[in-house]
Amino acid sequence: MSLTQTRAIIDSIHDDSLDMSNFQVMRRFNLKVPQTCFGVDTEILRPINCWPNKEDYKKAAKSLAEKFVKNF
């Protein structure tokens, strides 16, 4: 992720504009992920879209979720 997009996310947190976005819940982690953020490519807001191989992402996410459950 570029520094410009990172800064856009931080700015939207600080000015409360991110709160106006619609959110999607990542089911395994119960995390709310914004669907839009001014100045940020919507594709990078979904972690699965940042992986070259979607199946590898799914396996890694499942493994990480299982580790969280085991740890807690």
Give residue-wise pLDDT tens across range 24-69: 999 888 889 999 999 999 988 998 999 999 999 999 999 999 999 8
> How many domains does one find in the chain?
1
Q: What is the pLDDT of residue 47?
A: 87
Q: What is the pLDDT of residue 16?
A: 93
Distances in Å between the Cα of 66 and the Cα atoms of 20, 34, 61 are: 32, 24, 9
What residues make up the domain containing 45?
3-71
Contact 58, 65 (CB under 8 A): no
| Longest Cα separation, the chain | 37
Q: What is the pLDDT of residue 27?
A: 86
